[in-house]
Structure 1
């Protein structure tokens, strides 16, 4: 069928809206009419060639839409179901078998290689191969193919166009707090980077009952927003000595810190801010080969820990519905981060996100 999609054709260049051909779903695939999709920083990183995803490619990995057709081996959803599309996994490796699919042994090829598992692509243009299946979906398009492992049915009475970001950015930040770090009530927590992932972590820390929640960012507007959704304190590294300020605030360091920036110097600050036996989570995307240095005496003598976190260590089939329930209860107001754009404005949405004008862009399809 003919679809409209945003194609990356040159490293760092604008996405071009083009008419492409999409194959019919195979026996294990699901065709979704995309209603809206979030714009994530990972899309920008791949656009800019910082990860080895081949071009030309259709990106997008926070899609929400309506199931239109399913392959004969699919039983999880039926045509007409409202769904969000999340990250893909194999379902058979040791990690997937242990319900830790965010650490699937095939995570990178299934999400970043932008091909089916057999190396094919379902997207083309006049015989030209266009890479698809990015994160098992390529949802910067009016229709997308996904799989049972990465589709989640959602309630019909919640605005579908709002829910796409739950599939990656929002679940990553919230899941880091609730699933990976497991921040307990009464703990102190500091988030380095108050974008959509970091602010989702702030909201989740409030849900968890953390009593000291510190947001750290260079944008004062985002710090103001962080206070409105749960942060008890804010710091701006342009003015504040972050490590000293966090130590003074807590008296001994922070129980849990989380870096969303992927910047090695910032990660060092997050680790240096830890209290004895504290834990620093890292989820920001760094270029391959990035190295992190730590003060060995500080790290070892206090029993401090540093851990990598992927997709919030979430099981999407259960965690995304949990976030929706928290949203309905007024405890997780992620909708306040969102600004909607038309599909034709996708490059504007990306630019506004990079410039800090918009926390979480969502593009609506026609």
Structure 2
């Protein structure tokens, strides 16, 4: 539980609210740690306190509300982001841009203002509902809409990151950039999102696949996962020029997971014409970047992306199928921590020692 900004999480007993008709109770087996959780802890994303974070949960359905028919007790599930499933955008198959995305994911309450969690000792309201799950807990209340049934022969405790970070990286390559065999792509930033993008690019046959990061271990891992060329920008005074020597007159696609102005600019500069760059790196809602209009001319595109522009009900099973076929080894990014060491897992993520920490429950 987060009780104070920029403080360690505490492990406390809480009581769950009664399920509403469209809700699902999940016994959490594993929960990935994502950069977005960090932005909540450090106050970049303002939240009411106390709150329970965690938005890459996976586990087993324990109970369902009266109106739920898509999953049943005993089903293995992955929890993804909240969306209403009814607005014009959701109905068009793009739930990541749901008209109610903010209140469903960030406000800490249900739409009716009630909370899903209560303090065990003194009955205080505890703000759950973080991405409609708050899965840094042994049990979580989700909605049927963001609960994705998955096969029960895949290690359930490892699947949570498919609900956000890995979905974001792979989904951006597959759904937004729509990369194809033989097309070149550059990926800037090799955390879980960037490395998921590398794997997705490899799976569809992109070439070349250029990976950029300052961490030599991440560059080595990117090579193992499919990158054909890797660059440490600290060692390349003119990174754009060096990248362009690989695939003149430029690459078909570029992907930014960092979010700083210089990196977004480089994404556009390495493109051929036409070409498409996507940015998912988050440095705060007020994060001014500067580009030259010339980099957008002649058909170049810059897209901002949330959650890989994915429908989790479709993409998550697709990624699991790719993994089972040996084409998407996302488990290589994961290191598990027992739940009682959740603050160690957070520290390992912040320091870059682990690509994708996952806390697991016995």
Instruction: Specify the TM-score bucket, using the shorter chain as the normaliser.
Output: over 0.9
State the alpha-carbon separation in 1 of the partners of residues 242 and 15 from structure 2.
55
What's the offset of the Cα at 1:37? 0.6
**1:166 matches 2:142:** no
| Residue correspondence of structure 1 range 328-347 to structure 2 within 5 A | 328-347=324-343
What's the offset of the Cα at 1:276? 1.3
Which stretches in structure 2 are left out of the alignment for 5+ residues? none
What's the offset of the Cα at 1:25? 1.1
State the alpha-carbon separation in 1 of the partners of residues 329 and 219 from structure 2.
16
**1:33 matches 2:30:** no
**1:252 matches 2:240:** no
TM-score relative to the length of structure 2:
0.97
**1:157 matches 2:153:** yes
Q: Which residue matches 2:92? A: 98
Q: The residue matched to 2:252 in structure 1 has which SS? A: strand
Q: Which residue matches 1:207? A: 203
**1:57 matches 2:54:** no
Q: Which residue matches 1:144? A: 140
Which stretches in structure 1 are left out of the alignment for 5+ residues? 1-6
**1:86 matches 2:80:** yes
State the alpha-carbon separation in 2 of the partners of residues 15 and 264 from structure 1.
32
State the alpha-carbon separation in 2 of the partners of residues 44 and 66 from structure 1.
26
1:284 to 254, 258, 281: 281
Higher strand residue share: 1
1:129-180: CA deviations, max 9, x gaps? 1110000000000000001110000101111011111111111100100111
Q: The residue matched to 2:90 in structure 1 has which SS? A: helix
1:109-142: CA deviations, max 9, x gaps? 1111121111111112122111100000000000
Query: Superposition RMSD on alpha carbons, in Å?
Result: 1.0
1:5-33: CA deviations, max 9, x gaps? xx111111111111111112111111111
Q: Which residue matches 1:274? A: 271
Q: Which residue matches 2:126? A: 130
1:260-305: CA deviations, max 9, x gaps? 11222211111122111111101112201112211112322x3211
Q: Which runs of 4+ in 1 moved over 6 A?
A: none
State the alpha-carbon separation in 1 of the partners of residues 348 and 223 from structure 2.
22
Q: Which residue matches 1:110? A: 104
Q: The residue matched to 1:179 in structure 2 has which SS? A: helix
Q: The residue matched to 2:61 in structure 1 has which SS? A: strand
The answer to whether the Cα contact below 8 Å between 2:70 and 2:144 also exists between their aligned partners in 1 is yes
Number of residue pairs aligned between Structure 1 and Structure 2:
359
